[in-house]
Chains A and B, each alone.
Chain A
Amino acid sequence: MSIFSLLPELWLLGLVCALFVASISDKKQSVASWLPMAAGLGVLAALFALGERGEFLYAAYKLDGLSQFFKLVIAFGFAVVTGIAAGNKEGKDLTPDYFMLLALSAWGLMLLASCVELITLYLALELSSYSLYALIPLRGKDRRAAEAGIKYILFGAAVTALALFGLSYIIAAKHTTYLSGLAATSWSFADAPMAVIGLTLFLAGFFYKLALFPFHFWCPDVYQGAKNETAAYVATIPKLGAVVVLVRLAAFVAPHLEVTTILAILGAVSMTAGNLAALVQRDLKRLLGFSSVAHAGYVMLGLAAGSAAGMSAAAFYSLAYILMNLAAFYVVCAIAKNDENPSLDDLDGLYKRAPALAMILAVAAFSLVGLPPTAGFAGKLFLLSAAWDQGYHWLVIVAVLNTAISIYYYLGLVRHAYTGESDAPAIVWPRGYLIFGGALAVLVLLLGILPAPMYDLAAQAAGQLHP
């Protein structure tokens, strides 16, 4: 248990400092040349630290299987987002400041994965959120980005204030903020009404980051208004932070308690609201925003199940989710001209204009639906079986119906790309960038065909919480 146990966080902190120095220096050199490589090294650091265990800082910061798994996924997601952003050569807004805020947000999420005490959790959440508040309006002189920023900040500030209020109720009722202490007590409404109310309010802060109904209203507007690369980040990595905290908190509520029933109901409504609203969208990022709301509902299946299988399914699904979403946003960023928002009509004729991008989009769309042999199918399989085994039959039926509804708009992307006709010119990208996107699609397929290694990692991680 040396300083090298903290290697992933320290490497990312080093990246933040390097980007800070680059942002205040006079040389206007783009960081895109070295940043994706450095972020890739961060993924290696997280791989080496996968087996580290220990406790730091008065047992408020703990390295266990779950935290190291999520740090690896966060490092990977950050590396992919920097890769996507680095490909955008004309991006005037992709300054070192932009990447510094991205890295700071990712660093806050890594810290969030390891916090096992409520106040430290809240601090890490705020660290990652503030960087995002500054990041979302960064889009040239675009009014839509300013509007998206205001929405995100106002809703976010209100919800985190509610979360802090709930935290105060938990402290008052349970007299401890350490998750280990809280797990040992009873969480039924009859035994601890104030604590259950407090926990529901505290969870609201994380439901906001996950874009779960009814805290999802920011999601489509922010994705649509922010820069494409920012939307790629916001759509994926903060959800990981929310899921890891929800896995830790859901580990100490048993199935069919009031809190778990609330989780299940919110998940069902979120799935339905997200899928139904996505059916009529034309703007690609807005469509993916509503799809994020629906996927937040699917993750709730695993969390409401509450068993070790449910937790591992939720952790595995968050990995699959960021992979397929990153592949989808990669295509969105690649087909966008001058940083504009691509719409469904911009996808027309993609099979002729950029066959590689059309293929990657097809893999991402099939995975988002949950069709085999993609990662989305494996994730949904684990989630549905975990929820069914715990007796949530109605929830599984709602999830399956929602998957059927979502086929329309996800495969609508493929329909536009492969059967739409357009006279627009071919989209040219350097080979390396297309290979990068292809690697993302291959990973989505690989995770679907061979889910066992990553699922075992997630199961081992969640099993320690919920033996």
Chain B
Amino acid sequence: MVFTWLQAAILLFFLGGILFAAGPLVGSLLIAPKAHGGAMGESYECGVPTHGNSWIKFGINYYFYALIFLAFEVDILYLFPVAAAYASPQGLATTFKLLVFLAVLAAAVVYFMRKGVFTWPRKIQVSPRP
């Protein structure tokens, strides 16, 4: 079989990817010290000893921020085709269309602000299971 350089490059990249992932795994199997028992079975919490349960209640405000971020992120995605399609200056009408789109998004932000989503509560209650 005769390979082109492109096929050889793809093959090499594939091999490189496998080695990149498998190398450290195999390396730690061979070189790392073996330890069992003790604190090895616990969840990792940056080296600090864990306390309480991992299934705890956390403040719902994190959820709001994540949700709103996701929604507006997708709206920003819509601006990419606008930038691509209107590469050259288009005049007032097109700018107005874009401003209407942004105005609706701004209205959504105003709605969230008035409903108190952006006010972070004074104290987030983190209640571990007794």
Chain A residues proximal to chain B, CB less than 8 Å:
20, 23-24
Contacts and interface: CB of A to CB of B under 8 A. Distances in A.
Interface stretch (B20-28, B40-48, B49-57, B107-115): B107-115
Provide the main secondary structure of the chain A interface: helix
A27 to B, nearest CB: 12
Interface of B: 107, 110-111, 114-115
A17 to B, nearest CB: 9
Contacts of A20: 107, 111
A216 B114 CA distance: 37
A24 B116 CA distance: 11
A20 B115 CA distance: 12
Nearest to B108: A20
Contacts of A23: 111
7 contacts: A20-B107, A20-B111, A23-B111, A24-B110, A24-B111, A24-B114, A24-B115
A24 B114 CA distance: 6
A329 B123 CA distance: 45
Nearest to A25: B114
A26 to B, nearest CB: 9
A114 to B, nearest CB: 19
A124 to B, nearest CB: 15
A23 B113 CA distance: 12
A28 to B, nearest CB: 13
Instruction: State the 6 A-B residue pairs at the shortest beta-carbon distance, nearest first.
Output: A24-B114, A24-B111, A24-B110, A20-B107, A20-B111, A23-B111
B54 to A, nearest CB: 25
Nearest to B114: A24
A95 B126 CA distance: 32
Nearest to B111: A24
B116 to A, nearest CB: 11
Nearest to B107: A20
Nearest to A26: B114
A20 B106 CA distance: 13
Contacts of B107: 20
A23 B107 CA distance: 12
Nearest to A24: B114
A318 B62 CA distance: 45
B80 to A, nearest CB: 17
B81 to A, nearest CB: 13
A20 B114 CA distance: 11
A23 B115 CA distance: 9
A20 B107 CA distance: 9
Contacts of A24: 110-111, 114-115
Nearest to A100: B111
B108 to A, nearest CB: 10
A255 to B, nearest CB: 41
Contacts of B114: 24
Contacts of B111: 20, 23-24
Contacts of B110: 24
A214 B3 CA distance: 52
A407 B76 CA distance: 54
A242 to B, nearest CB: 26
A23 B110 CA distance: 11
A376 to B, nearest CB: 41
Nearest to A17: B107
B129 to A, nearest CB: 23
B82 to A, nearest CB: 16
A23 B114 CA distance: 9
